[in-house]
Structure 1
Amino acid sequence: MPQPARSQSALPQPARPIGRLSLHLSHHGTLGQGVDIALARNLSVLDTSGPCLWTASDETCQIERLRLDAAGLGKGGGGAGDHTVFPLADFFDLPAGPEGEADIEGIAYAAPWLWVTGSMSLARKKPKVGENDAEAALERLTEVKTDPNRWLLGRIPCLPAADGGFELRREVTLADGTHLAAGCLKMTDGGGNPLTKALKGDEHLARFLEIPAKENGFDVEGIAAATGSGGERVFLGLRGPVLRGWAVVLELRLVPGKAGRLKLAPIGETEGGEDAADADDPYRKHFLDLDGLGIRDMKVDGDDLLLLAGPTMDLDGPVDLWRWPGALRTRQADVIPRQELVHVLRLPNGQGFDHAEGFTLLPGPGGGRRLLVAYDNPGRDRMHPDEASVDLDLFDLP
């Protein structure tokens, strides 16, 4: 049944930030050859573990760790500093080496792991306004890049450190004898991994694997993880494709393989999923009606998933936060209509700037919680004079 159109007055109004949080990052000139622009201009992900804030730029191949100022957070502001860099090449064997762009589009802390994913997408080159004549611009639009590091999907041990924070380790044996080691799906030199190989036979998604990102092509932009009796359940949110207005979440079960590797396991081996029709499949698909938007980030919240939804194409907005109630209790492929989802809030967006790209949850006063939001291409008023630090927005979470 078609749903009635909403009047203009019924459209959600953008929420107002209750404050800002300053990220004090190192200047890109001090971070080596693989970083040639300010990290603060391209932050794509956020998550926390204890007092640590994890973030990354989608133009690099590294993860950034900062320490949160708890006192400032209680006043609706504050900052995060003590910046430490963790190159992904210290944990994974990357087909394009340590300086090849990974297009990091998702991180998720689920003890004892920090999960990370690249976009797994192709990218079409953009004409350079003011530099390219018509012939050169047309030529650039024919060029589609394959950066093999983009097909990264892995996890890194993320453990308490002596200073009260958290640190990433490539390999460690815990006091109880448990051995933890970083691992990822095997990536190919030509761009791909076992997941995208499996998707080549998928009736919904196969044809979109060869379409670049931001053109409704296959594009991962969000990861969430939860640990249960059946092992880790990993959810990937897709910015694209959006199929007839329906966004896609992929659910995976990943287990250790050979040294340094993860492998896909039958999805039905998670608790309660043994009798599902897709129990033997290497992934599960969920389709959600997010008002025609794709997924830009996602987080576990109890048994729910919080989904940041935005345009699939290269547009300014709208950008909404949705709640998928009971997502982690799902044990079969599902189609979730809008009336089974909860619209949490609409985020503000600029025209050509301030595109909400990543979020995480922080504690608020009185047991409440706050939403911390990072923006791609942040407005001038967010950037600090040092061209390294940037202000993020804080919202009360309804």
Structure 2
Amino acid sequence: MTETSPPAPAQERDAKLVGRLPLAFHDDDPNAEKALHEDISAIVAMGDGESLWVGVDEGASLERLVARRDPDGAVIGYGGHVRFDLHDFFDFPSGETEEADVEGLSIADGYLWVVGSHSLKRKKPKHGDQPDEALEQLTKVQREANRFLIGRIPIAAGDRPGAPTLAVKAPALDGGKRERHSGALPMGRTHSRLSKLLAKDVHLGPFLSIPSKDNGFDVEGLAVIGERVFLGLRGPVLRGWAIVLELRIAATRKGRLKLKPVGEDGALYRKHFLDLDGLGVRSLLVQGNDMLLLTGPTMDLDGPVRLHRWRNALLAHDSSVIPREEVAPILDLPFGEGVDHAEGATIFALRPGAKPTLVVAYDSPSPARVLPSGQGALADVFELPELV
């Protein structure tokens, strides 16, 4: 067991808000039920916060924003919105008819990695439905194959500094001959390579046929370090224990991704069970050898929302069971009633030389969080506890 320090008392965990950043969009999808700022599910910053990549639940796109800075160089907001259609980079089994339900983003080795939820969804009763209509809606469960996405896209220089673009192929970072290509793990109409494996798993198999928010299988966190790919699961949570899956993914010369054994036993994935007080994973962040986990309810509830630190996560080289003292909460984040659901998180310093801060974006923002233009929302900036 690794050396730990006592968890912070609850009254000392309240997150300290140190700023807010407007995220301004100008190109909403006319076919989406929600505006982009109402549907944020993942964010990741690059270049010391110079640009911000944003994923949304609906549709199949990624959004790029660039930083606006004050005269002292501090980030004061994001704009310059550009959309990238994921169909330009991946071959989806259901074409453009279904959403990818992007839930996690990560940057590694010149690639932007993206993961879909891999989940089923249950229809919701509509306001004003009669009882028989509502019951009928609740019987409908949909499988959308585009949600099986685990892929990566080369990041390339854009038309100006600080405004990167995405490319189907791009030069090697080291100047070598081997180009970088976009690619994904194979997806099918009823399963993917990963879901087919997990369907036989003793812990996870029974939950692949259960919709998300019913404690079914639901990917919402992504962190990539070299060939190691970590997937944080919002669900299932088993008797209070959340799960992080670990994969190894390599690419063929043309960019197609494939699973590799994670250990000498030939297994293609590892499971890490973490005592998160019954909460599921919403976002994964790497800090040194540790991993930070943004957590919240697996069911359709508002809170609590916390940030946990999994100490020495990157030193784990086998499946593991992590007790609470090794993944204790370090921050309690605010949440609203029916609004302001923390979904995406990233870490960067607001100004050169400053300490890193935690930036959190929200799904279903409250009216007070929406920008006056109606095409953006405020992300929160929290003080990040010192690593001890």
**Does the aligned pair in 2 maintain the 1:60–1:100 contact within 8 Å?**
yes
Which residue is equivalent to 1:45?
Answer: 42
1:96 is the counterpart of 2:94 = yes
Amino acid aligned to 1:67:
V
Question: What is the deviation of 1:111?
Answer: 2.2
Instruction: State which of 330, 349, 373 in structure 2 corresponds to 1:386.
Output: 373
Q: Which of the numbers 325, 350, 363 marks the counterpart of 2:349? A: 363
Q: 1:239 aligns with which of 223, 234, 258?
A: 234
- Secondary structure (helix, strand or coil) at the match of 1:40 reads helix
Structure 1 residue aligned with 2:249: 254
Give the secondary structure class of the aligned counterpart of 1:367: coil
Deviates more, 1:83-92 or 1:381-390: 381-390
1:179 and 2:179 aligned: yes
Q: TM-score, normalised by structure 1?
A: 0.89
Alpha-carbon distance, 1:237 to partner: 0.2
Aligned length: 371
Displacement of 1:300: 1.3
Does structure 2 retain, via aligned residues, the 8 Å contact 1:27–1:386?
no
Is 2:134 the partner of 1:137?
yes
Alignment-derived partner of residue 55 in structure 1? 54
**Is the CA contact (8 Å cut-off) linking 2:348 and 2:357 kept in structure 1?**
yes
- The structural deviation recorded for 1:395 is 0.6
Q: Kindly tell me: are residues 310 and 12 of structure 1, through their superposed partners in 2, closer, same or farther at Cα, counting changes over 3 Å?
A: farther
Contact 1:73 1:364 in 2 (8 A): no
Change in 2 beyond 3 A, CA 1:137/1:112: same
Q: Cα distance, 1:159 vs. partner?
A: 2.8
Shift of 1:154: 0.6
Q: Which residue of 2 aligns with 1:285?
A: 271
Residue 4 of structure 2 corresponds to none
Distance 1:110 1:19, change over 3 A: same
Distance 1:301 1:121 in 2: 28
Deviations 1:65-100 (Å, cap 9, x if unpaired)? 00012438966x611011010100010001121352
Secondary structure of the 2:367 match is coil
User: Within 5 Å, which residues of 2 pair with 1:65-80?
Assistant: 65-71=64-70, 78-80=76-78
Give 1:59 shift: 1.1
Q: Distance in 2 between matches of 1:73 and 1:86?
A: 31
Kindly indicate whether the alpha-carbon contact (under 8 Å) linking 2:27 and 2:83 is maintained by their aligned counterparts in 1. Answer: no
Report the counterpart of residue 4 of structure 1 in structure 2.
Answer: none
Asked if residue 325 in structure 1 is aligned to residue 320 in structure 2, the reply is no
TM superposition outliers: structure 1 runs of 4+ over 6 Å: none
Structure 2: runs of 5 or more not aligned: 1-8
Q: Distance in 1 between matches of 2:45 and 2:112?
A: 10
Q: Which residue matches 1:189? A: 189
The residue type equivalent to 1:58 in the other structure is D
Residue 305 (structure 1) aligned with residue 291 (structure 2): yes
Correspondence for 1:6: none
* Paired residue secondary structure (1:243): coil
In structure 1, C-alpha distance between the alignment counterparts of 2:315 and 2:149, rounded to whole Å? 27
One-letter identity of the residue aligned with 2:272: H
The residue aligned with 2:3 is none
Kept in 2: contact 1:364–1:370 (CA 8 A): yes
Question: Are residues 1:347 and 2:346 paired?
Answer: no
Tell me the CA shift for residue 387 of structure 1.
Answer: 2.0
Residue 18 of structure 1 aligns to a residue in which SS?
strand
Is the CA contact 2:44–2:107 (under 8 Å) kept in the aligned structure 1? yes
Gaps of 5+ in 1: 1-8, 269-273
User: Could you tell me how far apart the structure 1 residues matched to 2:195 and 2:154 are?
Assistant: 25
Q: Which amino acid aligns with 1:241?
A: P
Displacement of 1:148 in angstroms is 0.9
Match of 1:376 in 2: 363
Q: CA deviation at 1:32?
A: 4.9
Q: What is the aligned-residue identity percentage?
A: 48
2:110 maps to which residue?
A: 112
SS in 1 for 2:133: helix
- Which deviations, in whole Å up to 9, do the C-alpha atoms of 1:146-180 show, x marking residues without a partner? 11111101111113335123221111233321211
Once residues 96 and 70 of structure 1 are traced to their aligned partners in structure 2, the CA distance between those partners, rounded to angstroms, is 41
Q: CA RMSD in A?
A: 1.8
